[in-house]
């Protein structure tokens, strides 16, 4: 029984090919139009400029005032007795912090204006038009067809595969 199946298989395939066949032919190229697309290119560049900046001798932190308050509190603690000692400590702390703050302000007034170069990275966007593909229009058997390809056809005709099958 298996030999009979092997005999009918090629016959069945040959019958199918006769109903659903294909062949190559040539079609006339009507047009081959380039299709472009826009690409955005982001290019970095340095933008530098000179800016006048005020530099002070003070550091701008509260460290000096805190240290001045601690020393003022230690000195104020040496004076007074009982409740007066606590008041002298608080007064010494406040006076020490105030003196340190005044010194900081005096140093900042003795500052100077300096010129500094400042550079920033900025981006320039450019649009570039690039060839994307070709849209090829061709005629075969009185009908017009289109396809896209990366390469422009070399001649006025192209090879087409024609498939024939029953309805």
Task: Please give the mean pLDDT across all residues of the chain.
Answer: 82
pTM of the model: 0.42
From CA 107, how far away is CA 121, in angstroms rounded?
Answer: 35
Q: Are 133 and 35 in contact (CB under 8 A)?
A: yes
From CA 53, how far away is CA 161, in angstroms rounded?
Answer: 76
Tokens 């550091």 found at = 59
Report which listed range, 9-23, 75-89, 102-116, 139-153, is most confident.
Answer: 139-153
Reported as a single tens digit per residue, the pLDDT across 54-71 is 776 666 677 878 888 888
Task: Judge whether residue 120 has pLDDT over 60.
Answer: yes
Q: Are 26 and 160 in contact (CB under 8 A)?
A: yes
DSSP state of 41: E
């Amino acid at each position: 029984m298996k030999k009979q199946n092997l005999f009918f298989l090629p016959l069945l395939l040959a019958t199918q090919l006769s109903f659903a066949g294909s062949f190559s032919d040539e079609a006339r190229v009507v047009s081959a139009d380039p299709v472009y697309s826009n690409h955005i290119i982001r290019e970095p560049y340095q933008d530098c400029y000179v800016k006048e900046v005020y530099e002070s001798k003070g550091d701008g932190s509260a460290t000096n005032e805190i240290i001045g308050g601690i020393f003022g509190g230690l000195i104020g603690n040496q004076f007074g007795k009982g409740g007066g000692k606590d008041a002298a400590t608080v007064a010494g702390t406040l006076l020490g912090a105030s003196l340190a703050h005044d010194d900081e302000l005096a140093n900042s007034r003795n500052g100077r204006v300096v010129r500094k170069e400042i550079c920033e990275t900025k981006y320039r966007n450019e649009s570039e038009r690039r060839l994307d593909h070709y849209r090829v229009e061709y005629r075969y058997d009185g009908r017009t067809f289109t396809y896209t390809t990366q390469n422009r056809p070399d001649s006025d005709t192209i090879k087409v595969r024609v498939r024939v099958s029953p309805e």
